[in-house]
């Protein structure tokens, strides 16, 4: 049977405000347990929540960036459930009147562009965290995270395979960092993803029963969890059985999803408008403030890189895929406006290769844009060749010296002195008379052999352009 996969993602992006969404307690990660939970977060009786304006502005920025409808009237609801990490017995969220609805984002998979609809993005508070490994016989609760502002971003069921899901999640991940509303740190849980997955026979309209895989915190696991879940559902349906609508968890060690609990419905949560919070009315001036705070968006940046700097669409796409990468490139070309392509090649060719190999992010790179800028300057002013520059880059990466220091210490400065090169060329011609005869008789390919020999004799330091030029001059002379 030919199956089609249907996926919708729910992403929780932790908003990077200083204070919590309904209290003034700090949101800093990694502090002493329970040192950042105040009376409001702990749910003491008699306390009242006060909405953090910055969280609202950040949600508005997201809405504007995905060309969504901004709901100028939105409401906070209580979502009631009972779990030890939720002291109030309810989470404040938005059900029927979210702050943002009906947006979209463009993704690209295997050269095909596709629009994924974003149903809604609503504000809510995070819960605390249960700690199972701190005490032998007890589970502890750390409420530092309780009340941290989250933006829950819900996609339409427009995604058709795991690769598209990963592209979509990466696009959102990049965007929230671009517009500075979330630090995107997946390891610290600032960006988490739930995947809703179902399958149906290709060509049919009705959606199949879905399962929801909760709390996936890496793109790799998102892809693996969806692929596993699709196969699992296929086996069930091909066996003539039914998929149960439920919440599942991905086990990264066994690479499988396991049932966690049966799916709850909205009415299980007895949602009702929070009587302690007024409906939020978004004024025009607040919306203007959010607009003014929006930086250049990735798509706009890409177009500028193509039109103003002259990059290819392919290069511009890669360089704008993350804000940190685009910033690096922009810092690099401030000193190399004449050579943007050279800068692109060094970033995409060397830097990304090394970052990838070591699995680190660009802001952890041992070579800063300023460091690389000096290296490129030494290629441009012909102190070293591009080939030697790769060795210098490697040395800079490993031992963190500056390009100039490494060139000086290792004696890598290019030989550009024509007399010096001339003498070496003469020597090599004298040692290889039959090859030189072949060259004279018109075998142009042999020129590579001579350039290679000169490079070998000079340990790669001869300026290849000059070597070529001198060789050709000698060839012409010998033909006369
Ligand atoms: P809930 O809050 O109960 O999880 P929502 O209606 O908010 O439910 O939907 C959650 C997500 O599930 C959305 O991203 C939506 O696109 C997706 N979704 C809905 N139906 C299906 C389906 N049959 N298969 C896959 N995804 C689905
Ligand atoms: Mg859900």
**From the CA of 197, how far away is ligand 1's center (Å)?**
8
The residue that leads in pLDDT, 266 or 248, is 248
Q: What confidence tens digit (pLDDT) does each residue in 334-351 have?
A: 988 888 898 999 999 899
- Banded pLDDT at 232 (limits 50, 70, 90): very high
The residue that leads in pLDDT, 48 or 260, is 48
Where does residue 211 fall: left (phi above 0), alpha (psi -120 to 50 degrees), or beta otherwise? beta
Q: How many CA atoms lie within 13 A of 476 on its CB side?
A: 6
Q: CB of 355 within 8 A of CB of 365?
A: yes
**From the CA of 116, how far away is ligand 1's center (Å)?**
14
Any atom of ligand 1 within 6 Å of the Cβ of 6: yes
Please tell me the distance from the alpha carbon of residue 369 to that of residue 365, in angstroms, as a whole number. 9
- The number of angstroms, rounded, from the C-alpha of 261 to the middle of its chain's C-alpha atoms is 31
**What pLDDT is attached to residue 278?**
92
What does the CA dihedral 66, 70, 71, 72 come to, rounded to 10 degrees? 160
Of the listed ranges 125-139, 402-416, 429-443, the least confidently predicted one is 402-416
Going by CA atoms, what residue is nearest to atom 6 of ligand 1? 154
Please state which CATH class domain 418-479 belongs to.
mainly alpha
Beta-bridged to residue 314, according to DSSP, are none
Beta-bridged to residue 129, according to DSSP, are 142
Ligand 1 mutation pick, 4, 7, 10, max ligand atoms within 8 A of CB? 10
| Short-list 70, 59, 325, CA closest to 176 | 59
* Per-residue burial over 169-192, b = 16 or more CB atoms within 10 Å of its CB, e = otherwise: bebbbbbbbbbebbbbebeebbbb
Q: How many CA atoms lie within 13 A of 231 on its CB side?
A: 10
Locate tokens 């307690």: which residue? 25
Any atom of ligand 1 within 6 Å of the Cβ of 10: yes
**What pLDDT is attached to residue 90?**
95
Q: What Å distances lie between residue 84 and 139, 190, 206, 429, CA to CA?
A: 10, 21, 39, 84
Edge to edge, the sheet with strand 191-201 lists 69-70, 100-109, 112-125, 149-155, 3-14, 191-201, 211-216, 246-251, 256-262
Q: What confidence tens digit (pLDDT) does each residue in 204-231 have?
A: 989 999 999 998 889 999 999 999 999 9
* Per-residue burial over 261-289, b = 16 or more CB atoms within 10 Å of its CB, e = otherwise: eebeeeeebebebbeebeebebeeebbee
**pLDDT higher than 90, residue 127:** yes
**What pLDDT is attached to residue 326?**
94
Domain locations along the chain: 3-288, 296-409, 418-479
**What pLDDT is attached to residue 480?**
60
The 8-class DSSP code of residue 133 comes to: S
Any atom of ligand 1 within 6 Å of the Cβ of 149: no
Q: CB of 330 within 8 A of CB of 337?
A: no
Tokens standing for 191? 């960006």
Q: What confidence tens digit (pLDDT) does each residue in 27-37 have?
A: 988 888 998 99
**What pLDDT is attached to residue 469?**
82
Going by CA atoms, what residue is nearest to atom 5 of ligand 1? 154
Please tell me the distance from the alpha carbon of residue 420 to that of residue 193, in angstroms, as a whole number. 63
Please tell me the distance from the alpha carbon of residue 146 to that of residue 152, in angstroms, as a whole number. 16
Of the listed ranges 134-138, 139-143, 411-415, the least confidently predicted one is 411-415
- Rounded to the nearest 5 degrees, what angle is found at the Cα of 36, between the Cα atoms of 52 and 141? 115
Any atom of ligand 1 within 6 Å of the Cβ of 117: no
Tokens standing for 381? 């002013």
Report the pLDDT averaged over residues 77-96.
94
In percent, the amount of the chain with pLDDT more than 90 equals 55
The residue that leads in pLDDT, 173 or 463, is 173
Q: What confidence tens digit (pLDDT) does each residue in 237-258 have?
A: 988 888 888 889 898 888 888 8
**What pLDDT is attached to residue 266?**
66
Report the pLDDT averaged over residues 388-403.
86
**pLDDT higher than 90, residue 107:** yes
Going by CA atoms, what residue is nearest to atom 7 of ligand 1? 154
The closest ligand to the CA of 200 turns out to be 1
């Amino acid at each position: 049977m030919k199956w089609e996969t249907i996926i919708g993602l729910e992403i929780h992006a932790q908003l990077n405000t200083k204070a919590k969404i309904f209290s003034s307690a700090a949101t800093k990660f990694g502090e002493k347990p329970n040192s950042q939970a105040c009376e409001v977060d702990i749910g003491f009786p008699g306390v009242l929540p006060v909405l953090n304006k910055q969280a609202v502005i950040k949600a508005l920025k997201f809405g504007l960036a995905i060309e969504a409808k901004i709901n100028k009237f939105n409401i906070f609801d209580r979502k009631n459930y009972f779990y030890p990490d939720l002291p109030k017995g309810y989470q404040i969220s938005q059900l029927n009147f979210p702050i943002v609805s009906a947006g979209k984002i463009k993704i690209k998979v295997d050269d095909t562009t596709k629009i994924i609809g974003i149903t809604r993005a609503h504000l809510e508070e995070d819960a605390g965290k249960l700690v199972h490994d701190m005490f032998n016989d007890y589970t502890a609760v750390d409420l530092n995270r309780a009340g941290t502002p989250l933006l829950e971003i819900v996609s339409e069921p427009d995604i058709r395979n795991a690769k598209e899901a990963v592209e979509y999640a990466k696009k959102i991940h990049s965007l929230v960092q671009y517009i500075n509303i979330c630090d995107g740190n997946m390891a610290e849980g600032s960006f988490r993803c739930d995947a809703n997955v179902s399958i149906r026979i290709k060509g049919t309209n009705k959606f199949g029963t879905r399962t929801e895989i909760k709390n996936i915190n890496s793109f790799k696991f998102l892809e693996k969890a969806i692929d596993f879940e699709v196969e699992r559902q296929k086996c069930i349906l091909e066996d003539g059985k039914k998929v149960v609508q439920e919440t599942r968890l991905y086990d990264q060690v066994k690479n499988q999803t396991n049932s966690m609990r049966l799916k709850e419905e909205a009415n299980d949560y007895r949602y009702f408008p929070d009587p302690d919070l007024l409906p939020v009315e978004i004024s025009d001036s607040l919306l203007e403030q959010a607009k003014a705070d929006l930086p250049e968006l990735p798509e706009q940046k890409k177009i500028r890189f193509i039109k103003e700097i002259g990059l290819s669409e392919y290069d511009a796409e890669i360089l704008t895929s993350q804000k940190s990468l685009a910033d690096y490139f922009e810092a690099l070309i401030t000193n190399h406006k004449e050579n943007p392509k050279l800068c692109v090649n060094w970033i995409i060719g060397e830097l990304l290769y090394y970052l990838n190999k070591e699995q680190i992010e660009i802001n952890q790179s041992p070579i800063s844009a300023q460091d690389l800028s000096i290296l490129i300057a030494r290629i441009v002013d012909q102190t070293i060749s591009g080939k030697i520059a790769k060795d210098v880059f490697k040395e800079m990466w490993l031992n963190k010296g500056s390009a100039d220091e490494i060139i000086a210490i290792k004696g890598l400065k290019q030989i550009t002195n024509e007399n010096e090169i001339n003498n070496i060329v003469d020597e090599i011609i004298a040692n290889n008379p039959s090859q030189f005869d072949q060259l004279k008789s018109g075998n142009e390919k042999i020129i590579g052999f001579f350039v290679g020999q000169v490079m070998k004799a000079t340990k790669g330091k001869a300026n290849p352009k000059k070597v070529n030029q001198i060789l050709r001059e000698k060839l012409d002379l010998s033909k006369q």
